[in-house]
Amino acid sequence: MLKKLTKPLALAAAMTVSSLTMAADEVTFQLDWLPGGDKAPVYVGVVEGFFEDADLDVKIASGRGSTDAVTKMATGQSDVGTADIGALMAARATDSVPVSAVLAYFSQAPHAFFTVKGSGVSSIKDVAGKKVATSPFTSSNLFLPLVLEENGLKESDVSLVKSDPGALGPMLMTGNVPVIIAWTTNVPLFENQAKEAGKELVVLPWSDAGLELYSSSLLAADKFLSERPEVAKRFITAFAKAVEFTYANPDKAGAAIHAMVPEVDAATAAAQIKSIKGLVYNSASEADGYGTLTPERMAMTWKWVAKANKLDPSKADPETMVNRDFMPEK
């Protein structure tokens, strides 16, 4: 009887050991804001199997801004995530947080002025003397004085009104203000609102007015990179594949977000993905390759971030804020 049991028990034990060794590595991904088209790659990575193919089990954690995301990675609550690289740079310069940039996501800034046709505003110089509405929480407010200065204006040349983010579109469409500040990720939303109001949206990206810098980037906890480098490499490579799939297949990417977050409309997310493709793929990504964080552009980004945050640029080296060891192979 013992001999008869030995073989099945040995087989069961082998299967148990095998299942343990085959278990996917867990990774906690940190969002910096609510799910939407710009957050699509991580959802695509899950739904389309890019993470599964890399033997990864990815959990997605909600976030409330880039500073919050950086803090959660720094304190070990998350392993990797997307956030504005400016928030990382400011944090590294003032309080050496153990988080590094590992991949560029938006290689152009998403900040912009929005207006409607017939408002008298067709260039950034035209905002002089105008009432401009903005959210009190957006990082755009830090860069506003610099963009105005770059275009021969002063901060006092505009009358800034701070309002709830959800009220910005209606304020513009009803004529309460002639200009609002928001990210170009909101273009589909404002286009729909303009259409309903019988108006035509006009977008004035700050990247066309001198604000050249990296923005949303893939960041990772230094502990994650040092203690689980092989897992980090697999994740970053899979994430880069998910980015490529997202912008090549915006409708499928929108459906992926909707599948995991039903309250996000698939069509709206797809429209958003299409509208922000230029933030991901542009002259910088063409020159340097997607995802690359070059020393030159890192220095340029730090120059803008330091000035916006009133920091001494000589007090920090942007090269210490990036880890290029995990870049996917070209």
85, 83, 89, 79: which is closest to 69 by C-alpha?
Answer: 83
Domains of the chain: 25-108+213-321 (3.40.190.10), 111-209 (3.40.190.10)
pLDDT string in tens for the chain (330-residue length): 444 445 555 555 544 444 444 689 999 999 998 899 999 999 999 999 999 999 999 999 998 888 999 999 999 999 999 999 999 999 999 988 999 999 999 999 999 999 999 999 999 999 999 999 999 878 899 899 999 999 999 999 999 999 998 999 999 999 999 999 999 989 999 999 999 999 999 999 998 888 989 999 999 999 999 999 999 999 999 999 999 999 999 999 999 999 999 999 999 999 999 999 999 999 999 999 999 999 999 999 999 999 999 999 998 999 999 999 999 876
pLDDT tens-place string over residues 237-276:
999 999 999 999 999 999 999 999 999 999 999 999 999 9
Question: What's the pTM?
Answer: 0.86
Q: Which three-class secondary structure state does DSSP give residue 125?
A: helix
Cα 104 from Cα 108, distance rounded (Å)? 10
Beta bridge partners of 196: none
As given in the structure block, the two tokens for residue 59 are 């959990």
Cα gap 117→120, rounded to integer Å:
8
Token pair in block for residue 107:
């290689």
Torsion of CA 66, 71, 76, 79, to 10 degrees: 20
